[in-house]
């Protein structure tokens, strides 16, 4: 049964149509990606579904009693609440259910056994059990832990948290209320990789319908089952995984473009006939018929061109093309025995590594593990607590930090670019146009008054034009849409210099990196390959470590005879069988991810990876059921 059905939705802004005739149905367990360029109305549509914004046409029908939860980028208003109070406030209906159950229990204790009372009690009890029973508060708090909060954070007032932490708190509030329809606007913002993977598992297990907006390609592929695209005021619903929608859209665009070309060729042929025979009386009637045919084809061409334009229409996306850098020495940076500290806390100890010319390396690790500190130490902005660091001969670094570059804000945007890059005025204007600063109004805007997103685009423009041969990038995809992330990935992949990249975008890490440096428990470990290959190597190491204690135990007792194992119960046998299937499926997933590391665009591999992950999730759920039964 559909949780929500939308028919011919229409929305206007300032008298102009934002979108119209948008129709779709979303069922429980559906995971719908809401796609479209900036300004297409994605956030507005989510707020219409949540009842926060009015619609100007169309109909919405919800499943009876459906609860809707919205998470977006707006910070919480109730800053005096503690984190615990704020998250639990998203489940007011569950509190009301508890009160209703207590009221009905008192009524039944006093003799009210009529069918209506019993039905209300059964319905309320079923609804509460769906949310986890009376333990729903514990589950809501576990969501906070999954999103990176510690227990000592629970009773802190919201006003003491950062903007990114408040965004995560909003996401926890939406997840913790047991909604039937969950609406998520950029849920991956401010999440580290561990929290992203937790969120993927949580959404996979949630008994609800989900509509989400996200720019993280790995996340979209792992989570979504359908796509609703908003472009040029129209909506298109495509059932199927995210990669299949991208492939279908590309095929439709190609077909529409070919149709335009075919009609144009027909028109050109008919026009040549008319020009040759218009003046000949014997051919005048044929020429007139051809003119009529040209008119019909012209209308077809206009329709085909309109369809092609609609399919290919995008928000302006960033244009990346790094300047070919000068050649550096073979060793770009070398670290030996490096120790990093923040106060008394040791972030990294005895780290030694080297980056060679042309290497593309990812640096990964949990939030707070010292990634940014290491980048700044490599570039001489911090001193290591111990060890030494040396930049190689002819190395020209460019550092793009989470706070962007230190921009020259004394003049206009154009003057900033010219002063920091040395480009001529026409070249600087062309560069600004590729980074969405168009026309004199934007070129002449004072750099000091730019918004956060505008500063990030300007800093990226300066980095692209710097001519550096060693790019050090800390979260460069923040505030970039999906198409711009793909453009950045392609440019970095083609960059002939050296790249050291920190990012939570796993698709970018996997597409760009040929080696991965991972901060693990205060040490630095090197893995060949990108993100998927690193995961595979970690799993292999963990499997070996788990097998070692049992092996050593057997070695310590060479003369002892192994005891006969107790005959397993049927339930235990099935548990062991499922465990074996899980191990086999995990190996399959790891192998597919290793292949995806080589070619992320292989749609067949993506589909196989999706199927394998789904099967693994089902096995894990079955294992949990069997384990609980075995403990009973």
| Extended strands (E) in 186-330 | 209-213, 226-231, 234-239
Instruction: Name the range with the highest mean pLDDT among 113-117, 502-506, 540-544.
Output: 502-506
In a domain, 257, yes or no: yes
Residue 108 pLDDT greater than 70, yes or no: yes
Domain end (from 531, 548, 579): 531
Long-range pairs for 247-252: beta carbons < 8 A, 24 or more residues apart = 247/603, 249/311, 252/311
Per-residue confidence band for 312, with pLDDT thresholds at 50, 70 and 90: low
Per-residue confidence band for 305, with pLDDT thresholds at 50, 70 and 90: low
In a domain, 320, yes or no: no
Looking up tokens 């559906």 gives 30
pLDDT given for residue 576 in this prediction: 72
Residue 424, token pair as written in the block:
């001529």
- Residue 316: Cβ within 10 Å count: 15
Residue 583 pLDDT greater than 80, yes or no: no
Q: pLDDT tens-digit profile of 444-466?
A: 989 888 876 678 788 888 888 88
Region 591-606: what's the mean pLDDT? 63
369 and 382 assigned to the same domain: yes
Instruction: Name the range with the highest mean pLDDT among 2-6, 231-235, 363-367.
Output: 2-6
Per-residue confidence band for 555, with pLDDT thresholds at 50, 70 and 90: low
Answer whether 346's CB lies under 8 Å from 318's CB. no
SS3 content of the chain, % helix, strand, coil (to 5): 50, 20, 30
Write down the mean pLDDT value for the chain. Answer: 82
- For residues 191 and 457, what is the distance between their CA atoms, to the nearest angstrom? 22
Q: pLDDT tens-digit profile of 393-403?
A: 999 999 988 76
Answer whether 184's CB lies under 8 Å from 209's CB. no
Backbone phi and psi for residue 41, each to the nearest 5 degrees, phi listed first: 110, 20
Residue 577, token pair as written in the block:
């069988």
Burial class (CB in 10 A: 0-12, 13-18, 19+), 1: exposed
In a domain, 554, yes or no: no
239 and 252 assigned to the same domain: no
In a domain, 69, yes or no: yes
- Residue 197: Cβ within 10 Å count: 17
Answer whether 43's CB lies under 8 Å from 213's CB. yes
Residue 300 pLDDT greater than 50, yes or no: yes
Domain end (from 221, 245, 269): 245
Q: What is the CATH number of the domain that holds 496?
A: 3.40.50.300
Per-residue confidence band for 577, with pLDDT thresholds at 50, 70 and 90: confident
Lowest mean pLDDT among 67-71, 394-398, 561-565: 561-565
Answer whether 472's CB lies under 8 Å from 404's CB. no
Per-residue confidence band for 315, with pLDDT thresholds at 50, 70 and 90: very low
Nearest to 593 by CA among 529, 498, 546: 529
Q: Which residue has the higher pLDDT, 277 or 230?
A: 230
Per-residue confidence band for 302, with pLDDT thresholds at 50, 70 and 90: low
Answer whether 510's CB lies under 8 Å from 534's CB. no
Residue 624, token pair as written in the block:
């949990």
Query: Cα dist. 82→32, 85, 145, 210 in Å?
Result: 32, 5, 15, 27
- For residues 129 and 150, what is the distance between their CA atoms, to the nearest angstrom? 27
Q: Which residue has the higher pLDDT, 120 or 301?
A: 120
187 and 239 assigned to the same domain: yes
Q: pLDDT tens-digit profile of 9-19?
A: 999 987 889 99
pLDDT given for residue 291 in this prediction: 63
> Rounded to two decimals, what is the model's pTM?
0.68
pLDDT given for residue 605 in this prediction: 67
Looking up tokens 């928000």 gives 315
Residues whose CB is less than 8 angstroms from the CB of residue 52 and which lie 6 or more positions away in sequence, other chains included: 70
Q: Which residue has the higher pLDDT, 184 or 574?
A: 184
- DSSP 8-state code for residue 368: T
State the greatest distance between any 2 C-alpha atoms of the chain, in Å, as a whole number.
113
353 and 298 assigned to the same domain: no
Answer whether 350's CB lies under 8 Å from 356's CB. no
Answer whether 100's CB lies under 8 Å from 124's CB. yes
361 and 308 assigned to the same domain: no
Domain end (from 531, 556, 576): 531
pLDDT given for residue 457 in this prediction: 80
Looking up tokens 């707070």 gives 368
Lowest mean pLDDT among 82-86, 162-166, 171-175, 206-210: 162-166
- For residues 31 and 50, what is the distance between their CA atoms, to the nearest angstrom? 17
Residue 568 pLDDT greater than 60, yes or no: no
Residue 281, token pair as written in the block:
């009386």
Residue 70 pLDDT greater than 70, yes or no: yes
230 and 281 assigned to the same domain: no
- For residues 144 and 139, what is the distance between their CA atoms, to the nearest angstrom? 9
Provide Rg for the chain, Cα atoms. 30
Question: Positive or negative CA dihedral for 75, 81, 86, 89?
Answer: negative
In a domain, 495, yes or no: yes
- For residues 161 and 142, what is the distance between their CA atoms, to the nearest angstrom? 19
Per-residue confidence band for 77, with pLDDT thresholds at 50, 70 and 90: confident
Residues whose CB is less than 8 angstroms from the CB of residue 536 and which lie 6 or more positions away in sequence, other chains included: 590, 591, 593, 594
Q: What stretch of H or E contains 114?
A: none
Residue 554 pLDDT greater than 80, yes or no: no
As a whole-number percent, the residues of the chain with pLDDT over 90 amount to 29
In a domain, 191, yes or no: yes
pLDDT given for residue 163 in this prediction: 80
389 and 441 assigned to the same domain: yes
Residue 301 pLDDT greater than 70, yes or no: no
Residues whose CB is less than 8 angstroms from the CB of residue 437 and which lie 6 or more positions away in sequence, other chains included: 413, 443, 454, 457, 458, 461
Total of domains in the chain? 4
HSE toward the beta carbon, residue 538, CA cutoff 13 A? 15
470 and 455 assigned to the same domain: yes
- CA 369, distance to chain mean position in Å, is 22
pLDDT given for residue 318 in this prediction: 63
In a domain, 550, yes or no: no
286 and 353 assigned to the same domain: no
Looking up tokens 């008192």 gives 106
Which conformational region is residue 517 in: left (phi greater than 0), alpha (psi within -120 to 50 degrees), or beta?
A: beta
Length of the chain: 632
Q: Which residues pair with 2 in a beta bridge?
A: 27
607 and 592 assigned to the same domain: yes
Lowest mean pLDDT among 126-140, 285-299, 306-320: 306-320
Number of helices and strands in the chain (H, E): 20, 18
Residue 40, token pair as written in the block:
């297409």
Query: Cα dist. 225→8, 203, 220, 610, 611 in Å?
Result: 22, 12, 9, 10, 11
228 and 352 assigned to the same domain: no
Q: pLDDT tens-digit profile of 135-177?
A: 778 888 888 989 988 888 888 999 898 888 888 899 999 998 8
- For residues 10 and 19, what is the distance between their CA atoms, to the nearest angstrom? 6
Answer whether 304's CB lies under 8 Å from 327's CB. no
236 and 256 assigned to the same domain: no
Lowest mean pLDDT among 269-283, 374-388, 536-550: 269-283
Residue 144, token pair as written in the block:
């906070």
pLDDT given for residue 565 in this prediction: 47
Q: pLDDT tens-digit profile of 39-67?
A: 789 999 999 999 999 999 999 999 988 88
Domain around 120: 2-245
- For residues 433 and 429, what is the distance between their CA atoms, to the nearest angstrom? 6
Which conformational region is residue 343 in: left (phi greater than 0), alpha (psi within -120 to 50 degrees), or beta?
A: left
Region 166-195: what's the mean pLDDT? 89
- DSSP 8-state code for residue 412: B
pLDDT given for residue 191 in this prediction: 85
- For residues 155 and 151, what is the distance between their CA atoms, to the nearest angstrom? 8
- For residues 552 and 77, what is the distance between their CA atoms, to the nearest angstrom? 57
- For residues 190 and 478, what is the distance between their CA atoms, to the nearest angstrom? 9
Q: Which residues pair with 35 in a beta bridge?
A: 229
């Amino acid at each position: 049964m559909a949780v929500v059905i939308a028919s011919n939705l229409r929305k206007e802004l300032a008298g102009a149509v934002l979108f119209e005739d948008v129709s779709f149905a979303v069922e429980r367990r559906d995971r719908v990606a809401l796609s479209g360029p900036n300004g297409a109305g994605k956030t507005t549509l989510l707020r219409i579904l949540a009842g926060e914004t009015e619609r100007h046409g169309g109909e919405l029908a919800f499943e009876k009693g459906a609860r809707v939860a919205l998470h977006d980028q707006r910070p919480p208003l109730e800053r005096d609440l503690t984190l615990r109070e704020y998250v639990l406030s998203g489940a007011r209906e569950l509190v009301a259910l508890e009160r209703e159950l207590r009221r009905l229990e008192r009524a039944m204790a006093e003799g009210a056994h009529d069918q209506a009372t019993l039905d209300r009690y059964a319905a309320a009890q079923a609804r509460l059990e769906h949310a986890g029973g009376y333990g729903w508060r514990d589950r809501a708090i576990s969501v906070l832990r999954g999103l990176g909060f510690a227990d000592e954070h629970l009773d802190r007032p919201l006003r003491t948290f950062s903007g990114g932490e408040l965004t995560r708190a909003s996401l926890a509030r939406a997840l913790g209320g047991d909604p039937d329809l969950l609406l998520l606007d950029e849920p991956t913002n401010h999440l580290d990789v561990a929290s992203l993977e937790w969120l993927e598992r949580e959404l996979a297990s949630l008994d609800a319908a989900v509509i989400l907006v996200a720019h993280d390609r790995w996340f979209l592929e792992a989570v979504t089952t359908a796509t609703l695209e908003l472009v040029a005021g129209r909506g298109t619903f495509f059932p199927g995984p995210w990669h299949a929608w991208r492939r279908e859209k590309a095929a439709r665009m190609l077909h529409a473009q070919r149709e335009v070309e075919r009609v144009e060729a027909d028109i050109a042929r008919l026009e040549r006939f008319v020009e040759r025979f218009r003046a000949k009386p014997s051919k005048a009637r044929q020429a007139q018929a051809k003119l009529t045919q040209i008119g019909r084809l012209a209308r077809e061409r206009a329709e085909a061109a309109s369809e092609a334009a609609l399919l290919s229409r995008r928000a302006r996306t960033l244009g990346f093309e790094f300047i070919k850098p000068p050649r550096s020495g073979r060793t770009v940076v070398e670290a030996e025995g490096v120790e990093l500290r923040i106060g008394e806390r040791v972030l990294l100890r005895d780290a030694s590594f080297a980056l060679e010319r042309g290497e593309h390396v990812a640096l990964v690790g949990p939030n707070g593990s010292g990634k940014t500190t290491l980048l700044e130490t490599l570039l001489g902005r911090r001193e290591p607590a111990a060890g030494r660091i040396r930049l190689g001969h002819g190395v020209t670094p460019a550092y793009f930090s989470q706070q962007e570059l230190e921009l020259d804000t004394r003049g206009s945007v154009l003057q900033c670019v010219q002063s920091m890059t040395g480009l001529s005025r026409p070249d600087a204007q062309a560069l600004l146009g590729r980074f969405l600063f168009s026309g004199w109004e934007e070129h002449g805007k004072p750099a000091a008054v730019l918004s956060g997103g505008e500063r990030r685009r300007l800093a990226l423009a300066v980095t692209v034009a710097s001519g550096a041969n060693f790019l050090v990038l800390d979260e460069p995809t923040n505030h970039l849409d999906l198409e711009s992330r793909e453009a950045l990935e392609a440019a970095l992949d083609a960059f002939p210099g050296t790249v050291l990249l920190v990012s939570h975008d796993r698709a970018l890490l996997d597409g760009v990196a040929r080696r991965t440096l991972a901060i693990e428990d205060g040490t630095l470990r090197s893995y060949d390959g990108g993100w998927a290959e690193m995961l595979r190597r970690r799993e292999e190491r963990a499997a070996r470590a788990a097998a070692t204690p049992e092996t050593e135990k057997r070695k310590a007792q060479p003369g002892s005879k192994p005891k006969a194992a107790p005959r397993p119960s049927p339930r235990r046998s099935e548990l062991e069988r499922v465990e074996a299937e899980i191990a086999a499926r995990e190996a399959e997933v790891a192998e597919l991810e290793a292949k995806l590391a080589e070619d992320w665009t292989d749609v067949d591999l993506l589909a196989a990876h999706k199927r394998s992950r789904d099967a693994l999730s089902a096995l894990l759920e079955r294992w949990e059921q069997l384990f609980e039964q075995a403990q009973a």
